[in-house]
Amino acid sequence: MTDKFSRNLSMLTDFYEITMSNGYFNKNMKDVIGVFDVFFRKVPDDGGFAVMCGLQQIIDYISELNFSKEDIDYLKKRGFSDDFLNYLSNFKFSCDVWAIPEGTPVFPNEPIITVKGPIIQSQLIETLILLAFNHQTLIATKANRIVRAAQGRPVMEFGARRAQGFDAAVYGARAAVIGGCASTSCLLAAQKFGLNPSGTMAHSWIQTFDDEYEAFSIYAKQYPDSCVLLVDTYNVLKSGIPNAIKVFDNVLKPLGKRPVGIRIDSGDITYLSKKARKMLDAAGYADCHIIASNSLDEHIISDMLLQGARVDSFGVGERLITSSSAPVLGGVYKLSAIIDDDGAVSPRIKLSENVAKITTPGFKSVWRLFDRMSGKAIADVITLFDEEIDDSKPYEIFDPEYTWKRKTVTDFIARRLTKPVFEKGNLVYHEYSVAEIKRYCEKQIDLLWDEVLRFENPHNYYVDLSQPLWDLKHDLIQECSKRKGE
């Protein structure tokens, strides 16, 4: 199931996208073909990779892209010409778009989305492409770190109330599940995307009743098949768990039902979970799961498990849904080429005193090389779009900054990562459900070496340029430098 935008989001763009588009139109440049790349420069949390996410919402946005009479009237008041506004009134998207599929591990400085088409159109869609990509990739990446820290134990996304806005809650939940979460507490996200909703009770439920046992008992009678009790309202070991066990004995057992679990939301959860496990086992409830929540992240979860916490699943909220330790991905949308009427590509480059901000010019594609024996990813190679990597022959890769670092790879499989999404404005991409993307993500991450998966000081995965692309970039830098010196 996919969620189609029910709102007109054509005006969800930065004002300068409109001013530039108006400028192109007035200079009779509306049919000039521009090529733009979406990429990011740094993995959040200094991790080894990010998880591509947000493509479906970009597809939905582009598919519904049009300017209403209300939009045109608003822009008219801003002084734009009638001819330009007439162009927007009859707007029809006709660009080509390529993207690396959602759920794929991606790395800095490689073009993850490429847009090629009339420069007015390719310029106008920048803002929302970056919004969807930056937000969902950030959350999917954080979720995957947390899920890996849980070492196979389910992680539930609990962040709706701490998300930074309505859409952040809904699309953040989507991204979290793609990143590996088992379920979400956000009912709207579960409904829209076919996700598993999760959640039981809050402390207010227990506080509403005269005593804890009564609160547990009433809840267990209403939900005998899915009974999870929150045991830390008053005292986990002296009150919560003893009362939970009584309810299991007095309410569920006579019905022939077993408890699903207990949840601990405060205190030293590692210590409390060990004690709770012993109490539940002694009472005959070894199958009762212990769920932990309360401002968790990958580092806390890793420490808890290292210290022997007896936790079966985790509910993670604010630090996941906001990616609080690294709240910005920083993806950018940069012009890389202009294509003339004859199809000749004129590469464009952005230079900077900050070397990290020098862009890679040209109309490009991304390949991933896999070791044929292990199946593991060796490196990514950015090539010119019309280049092919022949994996029947040895292929030399090299560090684009330290070019003497070279390696010839053999016995490998080369796969082009970027896939066509729109062709001349027509959608050609197969749309996948969240569950399908999640499964794909799990398989793709399994193809990374363990060294890339480390939380601390991960291996620097190789993203190289092909020799023709490196030559193009080097020559263009030299040419621009000479102009600067003239």
Query: What are 27-42's pLDDT values in tens digits?
Result: 999 899 999 999 999 9
Task: For residue 126, give the nearest of 25, 204, 17, 221 by alpha carbon.
Answer: 17
Q: What was the pLDDT predicted at 7?
A: 72
Output the CA torsion sign for 144, 149, 152, 156: negative
Residue 268 has pLDDT above 90, yes or no: yes
Q: Which pLDDT value is given to residue 484? A: 62
User: By the 8 A CB rule, do 424 and 268 touch?
Assistant: no
Q: What does pTM read for this prediction?
A: 0.96
At 2 the pLDDT is: 46
- State the sign of the Cα–Cα–Cα–Cα dihedral 20, 25, 28, 32: positive
The pLDDT tens digits of the residues spanning 31-74 come to 999 999 999 999 999 999 999 999 999 999 999 999 999 999 99
Q: Which two tokens stand for residue 218?
A: 């009433």
User: Contact, 436 vs 351, CB < 8 A?
Assistant: no
Write down the pLDDT at residue 354: 82
pLDDT at 343: 84
In CATH, what number does 15-139+327-485 get? 3.20.140.10
Q: What is the mean pLDDT of the chain?
A: 95
pLDDT-derived band at 139, boundaries 50, 70, 90: very high
